[in-house]
Chain A
Amino acid sequence: MDDMKNKSKFESTENTGFNFKKFLVTETYLAIFLIVVLVFLSILTKGFFSLNNVMSILNRFSYVLIAAIGMNLIIITSNIDVSTGALMSIVCIVIAAVGKTGASIWILLPVAMITGAVLSGINGIFITKLRIPAIVATLATTQLFAGVLPFVVEGSIYDLPAKFTWLAFEAKLFGLIPSSLILMFIITTIAILFMKYSKFSKKLYAIGNNSDGARLAGINIERTVIITYIIAGALFGVSATIIATASQRVTTTMASGLEMTFIAAVVLGGTSIAGGSGKILGTVFGALILSIISPAINYLGISSDWSDAIMGIIIIVSVILGAMKFIKRKKITVVQRRQDNEKPKIQVDL
């Protein structure tokens, strides 16, 4: 936890974004909420902070976060991807098929990333070249991705060799920290640095804020968006690898439905779905909160039937709180969004 607090201080002094106050607030209240919940849990439950439980939560956290970072990049460009679950299910099956031959993680991971990148790239091309709104385009590809799988594999791939599950079963730093966590740390660090210092990330925010302005400023929007989808796809691939290698059997629907969790993590982290804003650190908190809910209520002695309701309440309350403080700013965003969508495109065509 200390580590994360330090990071948020570090961010706040360095920040250059135009609506940086908003993020400071979002991240701070998320962090406070998280700390309150954790303190609460430590008083009320026994064994929640046992090493096993913490590691099990962090393992789930790691794959949710890695994919949510990818989703965050996409949402910053004011696009979205609802096909992630189906896409990741395909990746799971592909690496299971490769893994059946006894391939090691050093082959599986790149294969997963490439498969993810290619499929996600298709989404990107679809959205930019045909100018179909992202939610609709990915809705269509969801159905294509989900429908293809049963043709390729009948049922599940099981009895996978020990090499396949090496990542989850064996690979632990100091015999303690699961490798999925290490992957997550590396990716998160790179992502935070990348979003802060790279020119590419500025383009993403520019496109999300005002795509026509960005176009006039000389940004190749189509290429940038496609590259964003490809990067996100590679991250989905990593996330799928963690999910698939967790057991010796991989089924065709391993990751289906997870896209909503990823989007929820991003939204909870304070990224506006309208695009142009949002930071990785917020997503980190969002993903962590979502990963804690289910085990927490189990330890608190509440039936797991309430977990979805609690998740819904947390998202809606967090979004409303964010909106209450910045309601005026939001109104301005609404204006911008409407303009983006309508008239200007025709003007540009002229």
Chain B
Amino acid sequence: MSKRRLISSVLAVVMIVSVMMVALVGCASSSKTLKIAMLPKFKGENYFDACKTGALEAIDELNKDGKTVEFLYDGPPQDQATNQKQVDILEGWIAQKVNVIIVSPNDPTAIAPTLKKAQSKGIKVLTYDADAQADVRDMFVNQVASEGIAEGLVAALAKGLKDRGYDNSKTANIAIVSSAKTDANQQAWLASIKLLLAKADYSFMKINNEETDVYYPGPDETANQTQCGTLIGRMGEGADKIQGAIGLTSMATPALGSQYQSATQKPDPTKIYMTGLATPNAIKAYIKDDTNPMKSGVLWNCMDLGYLAVQTGFQLNKGTIKTDSAKITASRLGDKDIKDKVIILGDALIFDSKNVDQFNY
């Protein structure tokens, strides 16, 4: 019996070796296209889908004189938005010798060894949407500086709450629905929000207890719905209630809207206010509904973000720009400044019932 096994394993080795030979010979005819690979935090959600649409637009533009750029796109499913999955995908791309990797990391430190490995193989590494450790990427395409986003959110909330009669004589308690504690973006925005709340203009709003008033549901849809449901139950008028809520992710904000909508005893919409980051499409219905206290949303142009990221990656690869360049000419977006290997797309975009219909993502 063991002889038979020996024979079979010898056969197996022979087969493997012979196939390797064949494949290596076939390998000689590799194509000369430029491969740009894009990795979102997770797939299956409007925000990253919109970024992808912009990226594809840039690819089409680059390909208009014949096919020179190949675009690869993959990411973890939403319920498994972990570093592990992202690394699996990256390793596959590194093996295929792609030229540019554009990534939005779930965990800025845990992804670093893999990105470093990619760089050591001559791959240009860019981050978009969220940053990794600064030493493992060639460029970070940032949507809006974190202060800008925090400013947009806090200003929108302050305006809404002031309209509802809150000011320095009548303070408002606010709560925040974040993502996970390892999300670099949300942590940075939260820190900026806290700084802003200390300022005189916004000091009438306060976070009472960070343990319970900052929620961390992660990217999971059900967890977002459950925790936002709990939060809506705590909203209303009075010192022991919460009057203002900010959603920091494009999952949390729509969940706030829908949980308000399905609440049995809706807190008086003239006494509370909600806003947050979201794609316009995801919260359009709530903004237009007069009985819903979610009256505005904050975002940046995500299609442009994807577009700019691909443009930057392409130009870095071609050598048109270098990591120490001062600006990039990004086709239809015009010139953008580069500072310390960071490109900033623009300002935060606040949308409300007046202009929400202008967006289709």
Contact = CB atoms under 8 A, between A and B. Distances in A.
Contacts of A246: 225, 258-259, 262
Contacts of B43: 150, 155
Interface in A205-262: 243, 246-249, 251-258
Interface stretch (A102-110, A124-132, A165-173, A315-323): A165-173
Interface stretch (B29-37, B150-158, B209-217, B339-347): B209-217
B221 interface: yes
A271 B267 CA distance: 40
A169 B262 contact: yes
A56 B229 contact: yes
Interface stretch (A13-21, A66-74, A276-284, A300-308): A300-308
Contacts of B262: 59, 165, 168-169, 178, 246
Nearest to B49: A155
B292 to A, nearest CB: 10
For A156, A162, A303, the residue with the greatest tally of chain B CB atoms inside 10 Å of its CB is A156
B240 interface: yes
Interface in B198-230: 209, 211-212, 215-216, 220-222, 225-227, 229-230
B165 to A, nearest CB: 22
Size category, A interface = 35 or more
B44 A56 contact: no
B46 A303 contact: no
Nearest to B284: A159
Main DSSP-derived SS at the A contact region: loop
Contacts, number: 131
A251 B211 contact: no
Interface string B271-288: 000000000011011000
B230 A294 contact: yes
Given A53-B230, A53-B234, A254-B222, A304 B267 contact: no
Contacts of B55: none
A294 B79 contact: no
Contacts of B269: none
Nearest to A162: B285
B293 to A, nearest CB: 14
Contacts of B77: 146, 150, 252-253, 256
Contact of B233 (A52, A155, A177): A52
A158 interface: yes
B230 A298 contact: yes
A150 B282 CA distance: 20
B230 A247 contact: no
Given A51-B265, A56-B230, A251-B78, A304 B215 contact: yes
A253 B220 CA distance: 8
B222 A158 contact: no
B211 A56 contact: no
B45 interface: yes
B78 A56 contact: no
Contact of B221 (A254, A304, A305): A254
A60 interface: yes
A156 B79 CA distance: 13
Contact of B49 (A154, A172, A254, A257): A154
B264 interface: yes
Interface string A258-279: 1000000000000000000000
Contact of A159 (B44, B49, B281): B281
A64 to B, nearest CB: 10
A168 B261 contact: yes
Contact of A248 (B45, B240, B258): B258
Contacts of A165: 258, 261-262
A52 B232 contact: yes
B255 interface: yes
Contacts of B281: 158-159
Contacts of A159: 281-282, 284-285
A55 interface: yes
A312 interface: no
A52 B169 CA distance: 28
Given A47-B241, A165-B258, A248 B285 contact: yes
Contacts of A53: 230, 233-234
B45 A156 contact: yes
A301 B265 contact: no
A56 B263 contact: yes
Interface in A17-40: none
A198 interface: no
Contacts of A324: none
19 contacts: A51-B264, A52-B267, A56-B264, A146-B77, A153-B44, A155-B46, A159-B281, A165-B261, A168-B261, A169-B261, A177-B264, A243-B222, A248-B254, A252-B77, A255-B222, A256-B77, A294-B227, A295-B233, A304-B216
Nearest 3 pairs of A and B residues by beta carbon = A247-B258, A53-B233, A253-B79
Interface of B: 43-46, 49, 77-79, 209, 211-212, 215-216, 220-222, 225-227, 229-230, 232-234, 240-241, 254-255, 257-259, 261-265, 267, 281-282, 284-285
Given A56-B232, A246-B259, 18 more contacts: A46-B240, A47-B234, A50-B233, A51-B264, A52-B264, A56-B259, A150-B44, A155-B45, A159-B284, A169-B258, A251-B78, A251-B221, A254-B221, A294-B227, A294-B230, A298-B212, A299-B212, A299-B234
